[in-house]
A and B are shown apart, each in its own frame.
Chain A
C-alpha cells in the first residue's frame, strides 16, 4: 500500500505542477506574452486530447484483440488534419468569425440561432460524452489498482470507488479554477491549453518510453520485434473490412464533432495558420502514439499470464519487468491522458450546458423579477459554468458507479464516437449547403440520436439491462424490423458498424429531407450565406496569409464602392508609400484611416467606419449585411452617376443649341450688316449716276466741258458698279466653294511679273517695285490665274493706299519644301492696329478716300488662298505694310 500512497503523492505533485504551469500561462497571457503560448506547437499538442486514456491504455488492448484495427482510430483524424483545407479551415474560420463557443453554439448559430437546436445538441453531447468521462475515471482508478497489485488486474484491494471520487473531485477543482477564471468573450483558456500541452508531451513520452523499452529492452531490437509480431497470435492479417472502413470514417467524424475537439480545434485556436502546421504535426503525433502499440501488445501477450487485462499492458508490462520508474512514467502518461480529456471535455460541455440550458432558464425566470444588471449576469454566468462543471463530472462519476466498470474501454469509446458523429450532417451541411434548414438539422439530429440510442447506447448496458431480452430477440413491440442489433432485419453486421451506418444514414436522410421540405427563416438564410460563403465575407484577423488577406478583403470592398480603377490606384499608391512593391498594402492604422476616409466620401462616415472595422476586426456578425449596404450604395452611386451623366448631356445639348442660336443670330446680324453694306455700295454710285443723268437731261445751259465731265462721272460710276457686282459674284462663288481650280504649271516669277504689269496698267504714276527673287525659279503647280488675281489685288492696294513721299513696293520670294512665300511690303503708313483685324473682312476699307474700292479685295484674296491651300496674312512691321502670301508649290487635291 505504500506504493499506492507514493502514486497518490506523485499524482498530487503532478497536479500541482500542472496548476503552476496553467497559472503561469494565464499570467503570461494576461501580460500579453503569448508568443510561445500562441505557437502552433502548443496548438498541435493541445489537439492531443483526442488521445485519451482509452487510447493510451485501450489501444494496446485493442491491438491485442484485433491486431492493426486499432490504428483506424488514428487514421481518421490524420486524414482530417491532412485534409485541413477542406473542412477544418472553414470550420475554424466560421468558428472565429461567429465566435462560436461550442458545437452546440455553432449549429444553433448556423440554423437561425435556434436555442432549441442548441439544447438538443447539448443534451446529446452530455449523453454521449458522460460515459467517456466515466471511462477516464475508470481507467485512472484501474491503473491505480494495477499499480498497487498487478495480479489483481480488475478489482484491486483498494477502494476504487473512493479513489474515483477523489480523482473526480480533483479534476472538477482544476477545471473550475482554470476553466472559469475569466469570462472571456472568445472562450479561450490559456492556462488549460498550456496544461494539456504539457500533458500531451508527458503521455507521448511515456508511451514511447515503454515502447522503446519493449522493442529494445525486451524483444532485442526491431528485427526481432518484427519476427515476434508475426509469430504472435495476432500475427496473421485478419481484417474486418467493414470495420476498417467504418472506423476510419467514424474516428474522422468524431474528431470533428467531439465537443472537446471543437474546443481545442476551433475555440482555442489562436491563429488559422496553426492549422497548416498541425496538418502534419498532429498526424506525426498520432503516428508516434501508435507506433509502439502493436509491439507492446505482442510482448504483453507473450510475457503476461493469460487472462491479464490487455488494456493495461502499458502499465503491467514494465511492472512485470520490475521497471517501477517506467511504470510510474507510464502511469503518469495515462493519468495525463485521462485528466486532460476530462478537463477539456468538461469545459466544453459546461460551456454548452451553461450557455444553452442554464442561462436561458435563468434569464427567463429573472425576466419576470425585473431587469437584470449586467455585472450580476456575469457572476451568474460564471456560477452557472462552475455548477455545470461539477454536475458533468458528477454525472461521469455516477455513470462510473452505475456501470461498475463494465465492458471493455474501447467499446465505450466507440459508442461515444458514434453518438457525437450524429452532429456531423448538421455541421457539414451547415457550412457547405446553404439550403440546409433548422427543421432539417433538428430532424437529422433527433433521428440520429434515437437510432444511436437504440442500436448502440442502450444495448451497451447489456441484454435485459435497459432493453429487455425480447426487444433484442424480436424487436420493439415484437416488430422484427426493429431489433437493435439488426435493424430492418439486416443481420450479421458488426454492431459498431451497424450502429454507425444506420444512425448516420437515417440522420442524413432526415436532415436532407427536412431541409428540402421546410422553408428557412430570414435569419437562417442570412446565417447560411455567412457560413457557406465565409471566405468571401470575412477578413483574416490572423489568417493563413494574414495581412494580405485582410487587405484583399478591403480591396474587394473598396472596389465595390469606389470602382475597380480608383480602388486599385488607391491601394497601389498606399502599397508604394509603405515601401512594398505589390498591390496590397499592409492594413496599417494609417492606411485604414485613409481608406475609411476615401470610403466615407462614397457611403458616409458611419458606414465606412463600420465596414472597415468589421473587415479588419475579424470577428463579424453581419459582414453580409454590410456588403449588401455596399452593393446598394454602389448601385445608388451608379444611378446618380447616370443621372449626372444625363444631366450633363442635357446641359451639353442645351449649350449646343444656345451656340447654334447664337450663330444664327450672328449670321442674321452679319446678313443684315452685309445687306446694308451691299445696299450702300450699290446705291452710292447709283446716286451719282442718277443725279448726273438728270442734270444732263434737265439742266439748261451746260457748257461743253461740264457735259463731258458729268458724262464721264456717269461712266466711271457705272464701271465701279460693274466691278462691285463682279467682286460680289466672285466672292459668293469662292465662299460657296463652287469654284473649280484651273490647275496649271509655271514659274512663280512669271506670275508675279504678270500681276505687276496688270496692276500698274491703269495708273499714270506706276508704283516702283523692288523684286527680290531666289536664284532658281520656283515652279508652281496651282491655279495660276487665281494666284495672279491675289497678287494684282495686293499690288493695287499698295498702289492705291501707299502714302509716302517716295512710295515703293518690295516683292520678296522665298521657298521651303512645300510652300512658296511671297512678301509684299510697301513703305506707306501702317494700318492702325485696331483695324488690322478687320482688313480681310468684307467691305472693310483700309483707308478709303476715293471710294473706288468696294472693300472686297482682301476678302477675295483670303478666300482664294484658302482654296489654294495656303493663306494670306498681314505681318506687322515697323514701317509700312506687309502682306505675306503662303501658297503650296503643288495645290492639294480637293477632298471630294
Chain B
C-alpha cells in the first residue's frame, strides 16, 4: 500500500474546494471596500457632542484592514496554488 504513493481520489472535492476558494477571492475586494468605508460613519471634528475619532486609532484600523486583506489574499493564493495543502487541512471537517 505505502509503496506506491497514489494521488488521493478526491478530485471532485478538490475542485469543489478550489471553486469555493475562488469565490473567496472574488468576495475579498468587496469585503475590503466595505471595511474601508467604515471611517465614513466615524464622528468627526465639530459634529455633535461625540468626541472625534483619534487619528492613531483610525490609522490602526485602516492599516489593520490592510494587513487582513493582504494576509487573506496571500493565504488564498497559496491555497489555490497548492490545492493539496489547502484541501487536506480542510478535509477533516469537510
A interface with B by C-beta (< 8 Å): 67-68, 71, 75, 78-80, 82-86, 226-227, 229-230, 232, 234-239, 241, 244-245, 248, 276-277, 279-281, 283-284, 287, 291, 294, 581-582
The DSSP consensus for interface residues of chain A is helix
Q: List 26 A-B contacts (CB under 8 A).
A: A75-B36, A79-B32, A80-B29, A83-B29, A83-B30, A83-B32, A85-B22, A85-B26, A86-B26, A86-B29, A229-B55, A229-B59, A230-B54, A235-B55, A235-B56, A236-B45, A236-B52, A236-B54, A236-B55, A237-B44, A237-B55, A244-B37, A277-B77, A279-B25, A279-B77, A284-B70
With a CB–CB cut-off of 8 A, which chain A residues contact B58? 67-68, 237
Interface string of B48-72 (1 = CB under 8 A from A): 0000111110110011001101110
Most central of A78, A86, A234, A291 by chain B CB within 10 Å: A78
Once the chains are docked, how many angstroms separate the CA of A126 from the CA of B58?
Answer: 38
- CB contact between A294 and one of B11, B32, B55 (< 8 Å): that residue: B55
A239 contacts B44, C-beta separation under 8 Å: yes
A234 to chain B: closest residue by CB: B55
Q: A86-B26, A280-B77, A287-B67 are in contact. Are A244 and B40 (CB under 8 A)?
A: yes
Interface centre among B33, B42, B63, B73 (most CB of A within 10 A): B73
Residues of B within 8 A of A234 (CB): 55
Residue of B whose beta carbon sits closest to that of A40:
B77
Instruction: Please tell me if the beta carbons of A237 and B52 are within 8 angstroms of each other in the complex.
Output: yes
Residue of A227, A281, A294 near B59 (CB, 8 A) is A294
Name the one of B22, B26, B73 contacting A283, with C-beta atoms under 8 angstroms: B73
How many chain B residues touch A (Cβ–Cβ < 8 Å)? 38
Query: Contact partner of A230 among B30, B37, B56, B70, CB < 8 A?
Result: B56
Chain A nearest Cβ from B92, distance in angstroms: 24
Q: A230-B56, A276-B81 known; 4 other A-B pairs, CB under 8 Å?
A: A79-B33, A83-B30, A287-B63, A287-B66
What is the bound-complex CA distance between A75 and B53, given in angstroms? Answer: 20
How distant is A287 from chain B, measured CB to nearest CB, in Å?
5
**A82-B32, A86-B26, A241-B40 known; A226-B56 Cβ under 8 A:** yes
Instruction: Report A87 CB to chain B, min CB distance, Å.
Output: 10
| B7 interfacial contact with A, CB 8 Å | yes
- CB-contact partner of A245 in B40, B52, B71, B77, under 8 A: B40
A11 to B26, CA, bound (A): 44
Q: Given A237-B42, A239-B40, A67–B55 Cβ distance below 8 Å?
A: yes
- Interchain CB contact (< 8 A) of B43 among A79, A82, A237: A237
Asked if residues A239 and B42 are in contact (CB atoms below 8 Å), the reply is yes
Q: Which residue of B lies closest to A226 (CB)?
A: B56
CA of A84 to CA of B77, assembled, Å? 11
Q: Is B82 an interface residue (CB 8 A)?
A: no
Complex contacts, A236 vs chain B, CB 8 Å: 44-45, 52-55
Q: Give the residues in chain A near B62, CB-CB below 8 Å.
A: 68, 71, 75
**Which residue of A68, A82, A230, A232 contacts B28 across the interface (Cβ within 8 Å)?**
A82
Complex Cα–Cα for A512 and B75 (A): 39
Task: Point out the residues of chain A lying under 8 angstroms from B55, CB to CB.
Answer: 67-68, 229-230, 232, 234-237, 294
Chain A contacts of B33 at CB under 8 A?
Answer: 79, 248
- Asked if B25 contacts A283 (CB within 8 A), the reply is no
Question: Looking at B26, B40, B53, B59, which has the most chain A CB atoms within 10 Å of its CB?
Answer: B59
| Assembly CA distance A470 to B71 (angstroms) | 54
Which chain B residue shows the least CB distance to A67? B55
A283 touches B54 (CB 8 A): no
